[in-house]
Structure 1
Amino acid sequence: MRMRQATRDLVMGARFAFTGGREGWVRLLLTAVGVGLGVSLLLLTTALPAALATRHDREFERADHTYGRPISKADNTLVIADVDTTFRSHDVRGRVMDPEGARAPLPPGLDSFPQPGEMVVSPALKTLLASDEGRILRDRLPYRIVGTIAEQGLVGSHELAYYAGTKGLAAQIAPPDVARIDRFGDPGLAPEKSDPVLLMLMLVVFVALLMPVGVFIAAAVRFGGERRDRRLAALRLVGSDSGMTRRIAAGEALAGALLGLVFGTFFFLLGRQAAGSVEVFDISVFPGYLNPSPALALLVAVAVPAAAVLVTLFALRGVVIEPLGVVRAAKPARRRLWWRLLLPLGGLALLYPMVGKGHDHGDFNEYLVVGGLLLLLVGVTALLPWVVEAVVARLNSGGVAWQLAVRRLQLSSGTAARMVNGIAVAVAGAIALQMLFAGVQSDYTKESQHDVTRAQMQVSLPKAGPVDAVAEQLRTTEGVRHVTAIEESYAGDRRTDPQRSAEMTVGDCSALRELAQLPSCEDGDVFVVARGADDTDTPKLAKPGLTLYIDPGYADDKRAEVPWTVPHGLKQTQSRKAPDGVLHGGFLITKGALTAKEAPAFRGDVYVSLDRSVPDAQEYVRNTAAKVAPYTSPQTWASTQESGRFTSIRTGLFVGATCVLALIGASLLVSQLEQLRERKKLLSSLVAFGTRRRTLSLSVLWQTAIPIALGLLLAAAVGLTLGAVLLKMVAASLTVDWASVLTMTGIGAGVVLLVTVLSLPPLLRLMRPDGLRTE
């Protein structure tokens, strides 16, 4: 019986929401939009695991690198070359193919193999090549476009990729870059071992990004609180008891939440469709990737309306609604601090057992991590109303605009705190995440061995590659300052399975001086370099007249080894690090000391120093390399190298933070408009009594700025505390990245400033005297 009565009350409240006239519809729509924005982001989040899994599956299905035993030519084999390149900051996935039979495996997304001189491209690459921006890239891809790669052959809508056809590729086989395969989708690689710190990073990112969404939804269902309370007082006047009145209020919130689910689904579908046309931090997806998990989507559909009812009942717990008014209109009782402090303290207590685990002491308990983070971030929402109330109670003197703002905050500090709760939680989580990423970055970032002061790019050529031709072409390439070309192999004391071996490096005198401290050098000289005490083979092999074998083979790797006799007149010298950071040893040989028969046994590397003042110098180098050595992929050097998984998680954080910031701005704007609508008559009355519009505009700005400043200060304190705890958990040194703290705080303040500026036009319209009109 009691359940039936409660259901009737909820239904009555829902009917009031839809039949409350224009005022009720405006209130309902504002609530639905606020809830809908949050629901759309929740649905997007539930769809992310499926999108990432789909991207991974697509990448696996088209995998073509072979690390196993060589495959013999057959009717079902394909020779494929990896010719990936980079255009400015974008990666371009390239493959050149030569089918060897009628049953050769076809890459996913292709209907047929392109003929020699033709290529099939992704839609994004086709658009780029047709634009003025792609002019330089067109010179690198001398193929005619005959089709586009279908969606199943791409990992994202903005991926740049192509498949080109050629003939005679079998002569260039050098796994894994040029290999013979009989199928796609079997890379033969073991899965990467999970890293407990990276797993914890992902948990922290998800909680920190989703928590502000929940806060915004909780705030949205309380839109129109003051007007609602006056309506509830009227219900008490016609005979409803206090419990029934609260259930009717919960029914109104439930109606707004249910309509918000509809709006959220609509916003999500719009965003899902738009996802195919945008790229964020080099990540793009197809709309079909974003399919929410049915279980998670059902959880959102149940949790949001339930949260709306619970939040409304919780908000009315301390409100006495009587037939003649609402006690909330009087001065509210002071908020208590003790229970608000229990939330962050409880969060710290849950996280404390995992302090010091780091990489080496087992996985982090995900339940304790999530629970601790939730309590700490919820603590921000609990502490902020108390902080705002305590501070504004002590603010008195000031100008007219200041006095209006302060008095309004003193009367409704809870409403002001609810407006900024979401952004405070977001900033606190962002500060903690920035501290955590900065603290562990050194574990996933290592100094590159490359000396970027001597060279900035490297072109690696296969065995018997045209090193001299590539070097000569690069020297005349626009934007190239200096070129160093060397060729490498090694020599053994036997034709097969040598017991001793030594490096062999070939170059002109200028190139060899990059590898060793040469006292003098002429073409025809041969130098001996011992890398250190661990190099015991070189002194034993550096004996004039001894026959060595260049590029000797092994039992399972037969090679065309070439005999070489150690010449007389060897010169001893000391090694120095090459531009690529390698310390070369063994024999350093000038080109004049080799015969035509010996030269093909070496493979080449060309180090390129760029003129940084020339725009697109790297692109010109890549174009030249593609012309003279088509199956090479020039590398661009950097001073540091970063873990791919760490970079992916950080990219996910940036993408998620961008979405959350967009939600923050939109929700704040809706909330601000709702607050202005609530005060329409008051603003019109003040204008009618002669208050200047500039004064009222400033008062609205102060009403926003004061809670925001307090919220950001509290967020910084909680964020620094949470960041310090997380750093202790991963056993990283405690350092504060003040630049990131100030940046996150500034972004939060900037979003609020933008929202305030956007709310000024409707504010000016609400100040007109006709706002006093009533029905």
Structure 2
Amino acid sequence: MIRTWLRELGLGVRFAAGGGRSGWARTALTAAGVGVGVAVLLLAASVPTVLDGSEARSDARQPVGVMGEDAAPPGPTTTLMAWSGTTFRDTQILGRLLQADGDREEAVRPPGVAHFPAPGELVVSPALREMLETEGELLSERFRGTEIVGTIGPEGLKGPGEPAYYLGADGLDTDNAWRVTELGMKGGETPLDPALVVLLVVMLSVLLMPIVVFVATAVRFGGERRDRRLAALRLVGADIAMTRRIAAGEVLFASLLGLVVGALLFLVGRELVEGLSISTISVYTADIVPVWWLGAVIVMLVPVIAVAVTLAALRGVAIGPLGVFREGTTRRRRVWWRLLLLAVGVAMLVYFGPDDAASTVNEWGISAGVLLMLCGITALLPWAVERAVTRMRGGPLSWQLATRRLQLNSGMAARAVSGVTVAVAGAVALHMLFAAVETQQRVETGHDTDRAQAVASRLIDEGAELGPFVDRYATAEGVTSALGLVRGWADLDVALDADGNRPGTSFQIGDCRVLRELIEVEACADGDVFVVPSPDREALAPGDRLDLAGPVEASAESAPSWWTVPAAARETHSIPGPHGDQYYGVFATPSALDVSGVPSLSAVALLDTVPGDEDVVEHLRNLAGVQEWNEGVHVLANTRLTSQFATIRNALFVGAVVIMLMIAASMVVSTLEQLRERKRQLSVLVAFGTRRGTLGASVLWQTAVPVGIGLALASAGGTALGVLLLDMVGAEVTDWLAFLPLTAAGLGMILLVTVASLPMLWRMMRPDGLRTE
């Protein structure tokens, strides 16, 4: 028996491989469809290795060292490293300052850096080098006084599109930098919020489901001609079981060929992906390697799906010696089992919701519930198309041609748009969940952008540097006003505590305008002093003495700089500044507290900028530059997104682009396959005088009707799924109209598919299509 089955499967392979132009065209369409799906699946199976490779390279450049008194002693191989990153137009640029304690050639250097940079020398990533060339002076001004002497190798970057640099420096010490003895500290893992886990699970389910649907659809290309050929085999003596095994052999050959095509597409695509950077995500070619067991599952599962789908399709077709029963009246599709899929999916989502008490998420249960609901929505599409087209009557000739074709075989049309339906349904639910979770993950910063839009800060050696520092930013392009403030730390003239430390307090010096931004002040004039008690310390009293030199006195062996709280000092309360911080201690105007000679202070400038000018921030960052570890510009924003959510958002954008391209390709292939099946009918219609415009419009209607029904079904089902998911994470619906842009995208896809199929339609209308064999 096994030998007989193998022989019949081999006969199917011979039909697929040796069926002439028609057979090879059918096999090529199936292999192309399966190949596209397999290539995307292999790409998805490579995601774990891509993440592992990126994380490993990121860990390899992390310093092992400490700052301050606990730092290791300097040695011939130790390196001082300080953070010096910057941002350009929302793009984070990784930056480090490097200073060797000994010989630069022997010092610890980051991976990918061939030669340790001397002071002023810059080693940049290829992406940053390209940014410097394309952005011109607006970015290159930030690196003034530096010279590019090298390029960071791949082993030192998370991806080829990561902008990064290492800058040689001098003047670093353990007070402002890490003394690095080695590199390669593994970063700790931060657990994901349950809402983010649900979002990630739904995202993966929604992105992968259309691929499976597309593969299942592709293996049914050429179904009508195959059934007619099987009817001819019945005429020469083959029984039903034999015809099914022959059909299985035919689709098995096409699916195996599709695996080869998919592997080739994957190999070609992975060579091209290194040059692409989508939403800050970039990948090295060497990282794109499928996880071995996922690759094995894909290789084994695709042929199984192909054979299973083919045999399932043949169960609904009666193939006899005299023809195919499907060409007559077909049995109406049943709806109960389709609704059952939806009901089971809803039940699983309700049952497997996140456990708020334990902060855990059943990823497999939620994924299964989402997939069952999407399967139910997709399964409803053929039933809905069949019920809709049976009621269509009359209309223009192009409409009648389209509806009649749909009435004869609505299943093929429904299969062609099933990928669009499942993708839109999942995208609607995902968009609703995404918008709600974004609201949850948006953190209030406490900034008040109505009072200031940016804050510049710098550590200064003495108070006299405040004026030039503030003036430098006040005259910057796009700055309308700048308020300067000096901050420092003073020791109290009291006994040492139990740990041998002297208690202290902070002091802030600025004019009345800036003091009103930080404390409650009714009346203020130059010479006034205010005292704000800290929550954990009693308020300073008039007569208390402060050493403004603070902790610097002991280390620098400098004389103390005593100042006494005047009797006229008034007690008040602190208020959050524009940058969200609250200060305590002494607040004084410049004439009341002169710090022109006091060392180790911090200068702060609160900046108002021209609204709507995005380049203002870049000019401010250029003033700070990248060579100074102790100066920076912080842009104020009322809210910010958590970094984990931002990463998921970028990954979603990349996945959505890939899936939409695949769906568009699948619709084009499906339409071309339907036109090939109708070659003879089209030639007959042209021979009888039917206009080409009429036939083109019929192709448009033939695509638009099932797509329209599918979009309506997907919008309703996706919205219901979105409401369930939002209830799971305890969020409210923020966008009931999430389906509108996705529906518009689906309608635009109809036009693109129609335009792409017109050249083949014109070719199918030639008179030679009337020839027969």
* TM-score bucket (shorter structure): over 0.9
Equivalent residue number for residue 28 of structure 2: 29
Asked if 1:444 is matched to 2:445, the reply is no
User: Which residue among 231, 235, 238 is the counterpart of 1:237?
Assistant: 235
Q: Distance in 2 between matches of 1:394 and 1:759?
A: 27
Q: Distance in 2 between matches of 1:130 and 1:445?
A: 34
1:500-649 aligned at under 5 Å gives the runs 501-530=504-533, 534=535, 537-538=538-539, 541=540, 543-550=541-548, 563-596=562-595, 599-612=598-611, 614=613, 616-626=615-625, 629=628, 631-649=630-648
Letter in 1 for 2:118: Q
User: Which residue among 764, 767, 772 is the counterpart of 1:766?
Assistant: 764
Shift in alpha-carbon separation, 1:729–1:520, aligned structure 2, 3 A: closer
User: Which residue among 153, 156, 161 is the counterpart of 1:153?
Assistant: 156
Q: Is the 1:492–1:501 Cα contact (8 Å) retained in structure 2?
A: yes
3-state SS in 1 of match to 2:46: helix
**TM-score under structure 1 length normalisation:** 0.93
1:94-243 aligned at under 5 Å gives the runs 94-102=95-103, 103-131=106-134, 133-142=135-144, 143-170=146-173, 173-175=174-176, 178-186=177-185, 190-243=188-241
Q: Distance in 2 between matches of 1:506 and 1:154?
A: 43
Q: Is the 1:340–1:379 Cα contact (8 Å) retained in structure 2?
A: yes
Asked if 1:74 is matched to 2:75, the reply is yes
Q: Deviations over 1:445-499 (max 9, x none)?
A: 1222111122222223236474433211111111111112222234453475568
3-state SS in 2 of match to 1:41: helix
Q: Distance in 1 between matches of 2:428 and 2:224?
A: 34
Letter in 2 for 1:77: T
Q: Distance in 2 between matches of 1:65 and 1:559?
A: 31
Equivalent residue number for residue 486 of structure 1: 485
Shift in alpha-carbon separation, 1:628–1:54, aligned structure 2, 3 A: closer
- Please state how far the C-alpha of 1:694 moved relative to its aligned partner: 1.4
Letter in 1 for 2:119: P
- Please state how far the C-alpha of 1:610 moved relative to its aligned partner: 1.4
Q: Distance in 1 between matches of 2:630 and 2:751?
A: 53
Q: Is the 1:380–1:421 Cα contact (8 Å) retained in structure 2?
A: no
- Please state how far the C-alpha of 1:550 moved relative to its aligned partner: 4.5
Q: Deviations over 1:303-322 (max 9, x none)?
A: 00111011100110121111
Segment drifting more, 104-113 vs 58-67: 58-67
User: Which residue among 347, 350, 371 is the counterpart of 1:352?
Assistant: 350
Equivalent residue number for residue 274 of structure 2: 276
- Please state how far the C-alpha of 1:174 moved relative to its aligned partner: 4.2
Shift in alpha-carbon separation, 1:381–1:638, aligned structure 2, 3 A: same
User: Which residue among 738, 753, 756 is the counterpart of 1:755?
Assistant: 753
- Please state how far the C-alpha of 1:574 moved relative to its aligned partner: 4.8
Segment drifting more, 513-522 vs 270-279: 513-522
Q: Distance in 1 between matches of 2:179 and 2:523?
A: 46
**TM-score under structure 2 length normalisation:** 0.93
Asked if 1:85 is matched to 2:82, the reply is no
Q: Deviations over 1:41-62 (max 9, x none)?
A: 1000000111011111111111
Letter in 2 for 1:374: L
Letter in 1 for 2:390: A
Q: Distance in 1 between matches of 2:387 and 2:64?
A: 64
Shift in alpha-carbon separation, 1:773–1:96, aligned structure 2, 3 A: same
Q: Deviations over 1:412-465 (max 9, x none)?
A: 110000001011001111111112122222321122211112222222323647
Q: Distance in 2 between matches of 1:746 and 1:652?
A: 23
Letter in 2 for 1:760: L
Q: Is the 1:81–1:97 Cα contact (8 Å) retained in structure 2?
A: yes
Q: Is the 2:418–2:710 Cα contact (8 Å) retained in structure 1?
A: yes
1:317-332 aligned at under 5 Å gives the runs 317-332=315-330
Equivalent residue number for residue 476 of structure 1: 475
Q: Is the 1:196–1:364 Cα contact (8 Å) retained in structure 2?
A: yes
Q: Deviations over 1:128-171 (max 9, x none)?
A: 2233x23211111131111111000011111111111122222x
Q: Distance in 2 between matches of 1:546 and 1:610?
A: 40
Q: Distance in 1 between matches of 2:628 and 2:526?
A: 26
1:255-334 aligned at under 5 Å gives the runs 255-334=253-332
Letter in 2 for 1:397: G
- Please state how far the C-alpha of 1:378 moved relative to its aligned partner: 1.1
Q: Distance in 2 between matches of 1:294 and 1:4?
A: 32
Segment drifting more, 257-266 vs 602-611: 602-611
1:54-73 aligned at under 5 Å gives the runs 54-64=53-63, 69-73=70-74
Segment drifting more, 520-529 vs 75-84: 520-529
Letter in 1 for 2:369: G
Letter in 1 for 2:137: R
Letter in 1 for 2:154: E
- Please state how far the C-alpha of 1:117 moved relative to its aligned partner: 2.0
Letter in 2 for 1:382: A
Asked if 1:658 is matched to 2:661, the reply is no
Shift in alpha-carbon separation, 1:609–1:219, aligned structure 2, 3 A: same
Equivalent residue number for residue 457 of structure 2: 460
- Please state how far the C-alpha of 1:252 moved relative to its aligned partner: 1.1
Q: Distance in 2 between matches of 1:184 and 1:563?
A: 44
Letter in 2 for 1:167: D
Q: Distance in 1 between matches of 2:739 and 2:495?
A: 63
Letter in 2 for 1:430: A
Q: Distance in 1 between matches of 2:236 and 2:478?
A: 85
Structure 2: segments with no counterpart, 5+ residues: none
- Please state how far the C-alpha of 1:765 moved relative to its aligned partner: 2.4
Q: Deviations over 1:96-123 (max 9, x none)?
A: 2111124421101011101222111111
3-state SS in 1 of match to 2:182: coil
Q: Is the 1:461–1:467 Cα contact (8 Å) retained in structure 2?
A: no
Count of residues in Structure 1 that have an aligned counterpart in Structure 2 = 760
User: Which residue among 388, 396, 410 is the counterpart of 1:413?
Assistant: 410
Q: Deviations over 1:500-525 (max 9, x none)?
A: 65432122333223223444444443
Q: Is the 1:505–1:587 Cα contact (8 Å) retained in structure 2?
A: yes
Letter in 2 for 1:238: V
3-state SS in 2 of match to 1:119: strand
Q: Distance in 2 between matches of 1:174 and 1:327?
A: 86
Shift in alpha-carbon separation, 1:496–1:482, aligned structure 2, 3 A: farther
3-state SS in 2 of match to 1:316: helix
Name the Cα RMSD after superposition. 2.4
Segment drifting more, 249-258 vs 565-574: 565-574
Q: Is the 2:496–2:503 Cα contact (8 Å) retained in structure 1?
A: no
- Please state how far the C-alpha of 1:80 moved relative to its aligned partner: 1.6
Q: Is the 1:157–1:284 Cα contact (8 Å) retained in structure 2?
A: yes
- Please state how far the C-alpha of 1:631 moved relative to its aligned partner: 4.2
Q: Is the 2:473–2:623 Cα contact (8 Å) retained in structure 1?
A: yes
- Please state how far the C-alpha of 1:66 moved relative to its aligned partner: 5.3
1:721-740 aligned at under 5 Å gives the runs 721-733=720-732, 735=733, 737-740=735-738
3-state SS in 2 of match to 1:458: strand
3-state SS in 2 of match to 1:113: coil
Equivalent residue number for residue 435 of structure 1: 432
Shift in alpha-carbon separation, 1:67–1:342, aligned structure 2, 3 A: farther
Q: Is the 1:380–1:718 Cα contact (8 Å) retained in structure 2?
A: yes
- Please state how far the C-alpha of 1:625 moved relative to its aligned partner: 1.4
Q: Deviations over 1:272-304 (max 9, x none)?
A: 111111111111111111111111111101100
- Please state how far the C-alpha of 1:662 moved relative to its aligned partner: 0.6
Q: Deviations over 1:200-249 (max 9, x none)?
A: 32221111110100000000010011111111111111221111101111
Q: Is the 2:66–2:179 Cα contact (8 Å) retained in structure 1?
A: no
- Please state how far the C-alpha of 1:410 moved relative to its aligned partner: 0.7
Shift in alpha-carbon separation, 1:399–1:129, aligned structure 2, 3 A: same
Q: Distance in 1 between matches of 2:138 and 2:515?
A: 34
Q: Distance in 1 between matches of 2:748 and 2:549?
A: 63
